[in-house]
Amino acid sequence: MAMVLVQRAALVFAAAVLAQAAEPAAARWDGTLQLPGREYRLVIDLARNAQGQWIGSAVLPNLGVKGAPLADISVTGSAVSFAVKDVLGGVKVRGNLTADGAFTGTFEQGGNAAPFALQKAGPAQVELPRQSTAVAKEMEGDWEGDMMFIDHNVHVRLSLANQADGKATGKLFLKGRREVNLDVAMVTQEADLLTLEAPEASLIYDGRLRGGEISGTWQQGPFEFGLLLHRAAKP
């Protein structure tokens, strides 16, 4: 009986090894993206879920993109393609796997294409899609503040509201050289830390509620600024 169990375990292990070998795209891929005049780090995680479907996520730390979900994933032989729909207005990635463990191709956005070169860096660490949380009652409502964005002032107005499904939504109105309205894709609160994410604008804001004000950091692409928000004056 013991011998049978050992044999079965060996077969299961062998099957797992063969399955891994048959899926060369399933891995963490880490390397660089060459945009005009600048090099950015790019990390892609690809794996199959329990149903055998391809899943994945992308990280562009220099642009404030963390765990953006991949869509329309296609793996055919050495050819790999997918979309990152909520980043930089929509991105398409097309590439090929090489025998020496590389993944190279083009990163397409807004009619432009930039080359990337990634190397296999270990098992995939796919970040599953996150969801917004509720925010504390004292966080709800309208907030406003001003910050220096590179070389000009920007007035920021934030509206936060909890919804019936237990998740908060957020809207941003920015008034600087031009006026911009943004829907916040992700609103989360952990303890006193509020995080707003708008991947379409490569924006992350982390702030803490202190003495009736939210003090935090506005990160947009490679730029980072301090932003203090206080209760907005009623119209």
Domains of the chain: residue spans and CATH? 24-120 (2.40.128.520), 137-231 (2.40.128.120)
DSSP track, 188-203: EEETTEEEEEEGGGTE
Q: Is residue 22 pLDDT above 80, yes or no?
A: no
Neighbours of 79 (CB within 10 A): 13
For position 3, what pLDDT does the model report?
43
pTM: 0.54
User: What residues contact residue 40 under an 8 Å CB cut-off, 6+ apart?
Assistant: 32, 33, 60, 62, 63
pLDDT of res. 120: 96
Residues 128-184 pLDDT 10s: 877 899 999 999 999 999 999 888 899 999 999 999 999 999 999 999 989 999 999
pLDDT of residue 131: 87
In the prediction, which pLDDT does 235 show? 58
Sheet-wide strand order for 71-76: 65-69, 54-60, 38-48, 27-35, 112-120, 102-109, 91-97, 79-84, 71-76
Looking at per-residue pLDDT, the higher value among 89 and 180 belongs to 180
